[in-house]
Chain A
């Protein structure tokens, strides 16, 4: 009897379409692009701010254009997806134990959301008139 194992090829370009969980993973990876792009927008806005009031207000006006608005909406959706998917896996990377008992994953995730809310509240407070 001869051995002749059969190897099934996996598409190096389209493997992520094989399962829904792979698609979710790829969207999470893609979300980094929008997080990076939004970071670049903030850096440019600081640069414009340093150039004076007129430059900064011109930049803000440009952001309110259709392209700027569309970018912000898309970036916001991806930022939400990025944040929630990473928060949801934090108990895997950072499990906590109190004595012999594991802190439930839900508590670790909840603490992240609570921290997110707290930071958002501080930012809103500082940014308010």
Chain B
């Protein structure tokens, strides 16, 4: 197996001793078939056990190991070393406060995610013995793409609107709101609209499109937000022109 020495500049921050974050460089003997996460694990296991970061599945499913790799929001388990030069800069995800080293504070996202009711709001409580809620393949195809979201927050790290306005609900939560709005079993669209169609919701997005470019599962949050804008505008004009239907 080909080996290559790679220098990793990793942003470190210890809230107990550091005034501000600073870079620390580690030289790692890497194998070419490694992903970035393997090299960071090597640092943790063999060089510096004080390094803190999140990871779990190592296969782009859990969404824990997102970080800025040479300035790009990336899942470190999905980014192969063979695609990188001999010096790689690793930082915690942008647009989130740093808790420690590569670990960010995700509380803001969690709160916003909850605010869009990211679950099926059923029309009526059906007893289990009445059987399953059936959907046609076409109804499933309406929203299936958006179910692939793993809450990795790469889209938030890529979004300049979220960087500039902390009130912005953000791409991930809005894409999940769209996912449930499109679900034939759900009637929660109106309940979500207070947050989704507010100024801090879809209308704060100016369609930079970076969220969709960095999404590791092609969820396309930018598309979801633009489609929600259109649906919300149609709702507005329907209410305006046909008030008797309100």
| Contact A99-B163, Cβ < 8 Å, known A5-B99, A8-B94, A93-B223 | no
Q: In the complex the two chains form, what is the Cα distance from A7 to B20 in whole Å?
A: 9
Which residue of B71, B206, B227 contacts A19 across the interface (Cβ within 8 Å)?
Answer: B71
B207, A89: Cβ atoms closer than 8 Å: yes
Measured in the bound complex, the distance between the Cα atoms of B210 and A16 in whole Å is 12
B141: Cβ under 8 A from any A Cβ: yes
Q: How close is B29's CB to chain A, nearest CB, in angstroms? A: 31
Which residues of chain B from 182 to 233 have any CB-CB distance to chain A below 8 Å in the complex? 206-210, 212-213, 220, 222-223, 226-227, 229-230
Q: Tell me the count of chain A residues lying within 8 A, CB to CB, of chain B.
A: 29
Specify which chain A residues have a CB less than 8 angstroms from the CB of B114 in the assembled complex.
none
Pairwise interchain contact B227-A21, C-beta atoms closer than 8 A: no
Q: Tell me whether A25 and B138 are in contact in the complex, defined as CB-CB below 8 angstroms, given that A2-B16, A7-B97 are known contacts.
A: no
Q: Of B21, B137, B164, which is within 8 A of A6 by CB? A: B21
Counting CB contacts under 8 A, is A18 at the interface? yes
Q: Give per-residue flags for B80-107: 1 if the beta carbon is below 8 A from chain A beta carbons, else 0.
A: 0000000000000011011100000100
| Chain A residues near B (Cβ < 8 Å) | 1-8, 10, 12, 15-16, 18-19, 21-22, 25, 29, 89, 91-95, 97, 99-102
